[in-house]
Structure 1
């Protein structure tokens, strides 16, 4: 199984490289994953997971998966050092996944991503990931069936389709870094057991720096819905009270986003009205008792509105403008935008989220 995954990666790199690349594939070291961490003495520790491809003749290749590390004062220094440690040409800009340790992310990810964005033939669709703890601890894991980069990519694709995390790549992340009108939310992963990792939610950014604050997977889903970013479906579970819990999936939504300035106080008010159509997938209850759908709609709406308020409060705490309110203000009220210090003013934004639930089907639940 491991060989199959490595061969798939090899074939993919052929298409990514393209016919304009005159370098022979057998002279390159392809990187399927790279990790960045901050050491105790404030140096940059980089590890790359490389595929060593050797032509055995007769159309056959020998493929080896290995890890190479370097610690230097700068990102550029680590790249040069790693190139010196590996025979052949290193193509770091074509890494499939970029893991950044949380402590380094707090210092800023702009200098980390530049080598991946600047080259004209770089793989700008590479996924960006923040790790709980050291990124190397995750990159160095040895799953049974495939390199860890494949495991993470597969879990990301599933989570993106289920509206758990946004699809953040080198391209989308760089665009947000250089845009002062909004902030990033980047997937967070953590260690699940000795050889597995799990999605831990979303890391909230202020500029290019990780704020140190994150959202759980449940709250991440709700934030994406509030941002009008429903993918194929979203799954959530709620405790309505001590005796009632249920799970549901959102099948469609309608969001109204309204930004206004209160003239007397000058306060920026952001109203978000979210209407979601859901399907109940689980609702343990007393089957002898008739279900009041109107009441259940209301109970769910109240509960989700309360959670939505908690999500927006967390954004304010992290100083993370995930909704891009700054960009909206710059466009709709340029004079105000020029006068204010958005870094300070954002903390005073008044969020007024409201979630309305409409149960369209209960399936076989009741």
Structure 2
């Protein structure tokens, strides 16, 4: 009986169908980076960076760049598919958005990504000061292929707390959340280089403003989403701004930053937010030294706390002007004060919120010098 079962199992192998839906990687034209711009007549311009490897004893990866225009993202993709055989999007690592497109309804351009089961949800987003196509057409930056360079650039900014870590997956719930907005990396072309400009603020589905690098680092600290480190260089001594000895450079470990936010509602319906950030820092550079003196350290702590608190107030002012609730005050109202939230029209009432930011700096290390 056992022999018959074994022979039956062996015979059944020949009756099994093959992989009818296989997609061989060696035949695919893989998209590693893509960008979208808006044409003057309102159409979508899609730019794709496709990886290919040169044949030979020492194969080398190269980029080819293709563009197409369509009424929608899918329409532009179909135009590219007609020109490129076996085009596949499941390996793309970064998507760039031209500024003119980001200021429109971003969700309508992203809808196709969330409907595609092959779309990589961990891909990075960035807004370009100008056209996304101009950056992708470079193909290489500093001997690195443009796709890899952009991913490393964005990851470096995330580690240094220049902007929060966001992906295709993470920004969708924020776009649909009436009580919270988001920010994305803001990059630009500088000669033959691509550099970080800061962060792009969004309200709802549209880009509404920008933060410079120092301001965007403060935003990540205020939002409670710092990266591995956060670094500042500030003028703490009187004298010429051109004298390096009047400046101090400090670095904070993102894991040790403590942030508290409390949303209060007054009887008249006014919303106030108490926001406190405790920032233990290590001195990276300070030519005047004397950090072994308690009086000197206390003075620097007080000066840095005052400077960063004032700058935090400026950052919040820019966010209010852009109507970007990146700190999630609205989400707190929805959760803990639902009756108050129902009476609010957040686009109108968010700029009226009174914030009381406080950044408390404490020098806890001075490098290897005593």
What TM-score does the superposition give when structure 1 sets the normalisation length? 0.87
Q: Which residue of 2 aligns with 1:15?
A: none
Match status 1:303 vs 2:307: yes
What TM-score does the superposition give when structure 2 sets the normalisation length? 0.86
- Counterparts of 2:117 and 2:84 in 1: how far apart (Å)? 23
RMSD: 2.4
* Cα distance, 1:94 vs structure 2: 3.6
3-state SS of 1:235 partner: strand
Greater Cα shift, 112-121 or 74-83: 112-121
Q: Which residue of 1 aligns with 2:363?
A: 359
Residue in structure 1 matching 2:285, options 282, 286, 301: 282
3-state SS of 1:303 partner: helix
Q: Which residue of 2 aligns with 1:316?
A: 320
Q: Which residue of 1 aligns with 2:16?
A: none
1:154-169 pair list within 5 angstroms: 154-169=152-167
- Counterparts of 1:289 and 1:229 in 2: how far apart (Å)? 32
Match status 1:37 vs 2:41: no
Contact 1:30 1:95 in 2 (8 A): yes
* Cα distance, 1:219 vs structure 2: 1.1
Q: Which residue of 2 aligns with 1:129?
A: 126
- Counterparts of 2:134 and 2:56 in 1: how far apart (Å)? 36
- Counterparts of 1:101 and 1:181 in 2: how far apart (Å)? 26
Contact 1:92 1:116 in 2 (8 A): no
Contact 1:282 1:365 in 2 (8 A): no
Contact 1:281 1:365 in 2 (8 A): no
Greater Cα shift, 164-173 or 237-246: 237-246
Please, which runs of 5 or more residues in structure 1 have no aligned partner?
1-18
Q: Which residue of 1 aligns with 2:215?
A: 219
Q: Which residue of 1 aligns with 2:12?
A: none
* Cα distance, 1:144 vs structure 2: 4.7
Residues 275-324 of structure 1 show CA distances to partners (whole Å, capped at 9, x for unaligned) of 11011111132769966111111111111100000010010011000011
3-state SS of 1:292 partner: helix
Q: Which residue of 2 aligns with 1:246?
A: 248
Bigger radius of gyration among the two: 2
Contact 2:269 2:340 in 1 (8 A): no
Residue in structure 1 matching 2:350, options 339, 342, 346: 346
Q: Which residue of 1 aligns with 2:79?
A: 81
Please, which runs of 5 or more residues in structure 2 have no aligned partner?
1-18, 240-245
Q: Do the aligned partners of residues 63 and 240 (structure 1) sit closer, same or farther apart at CA in structure 2, a change above 3 Å counting?
A: closer
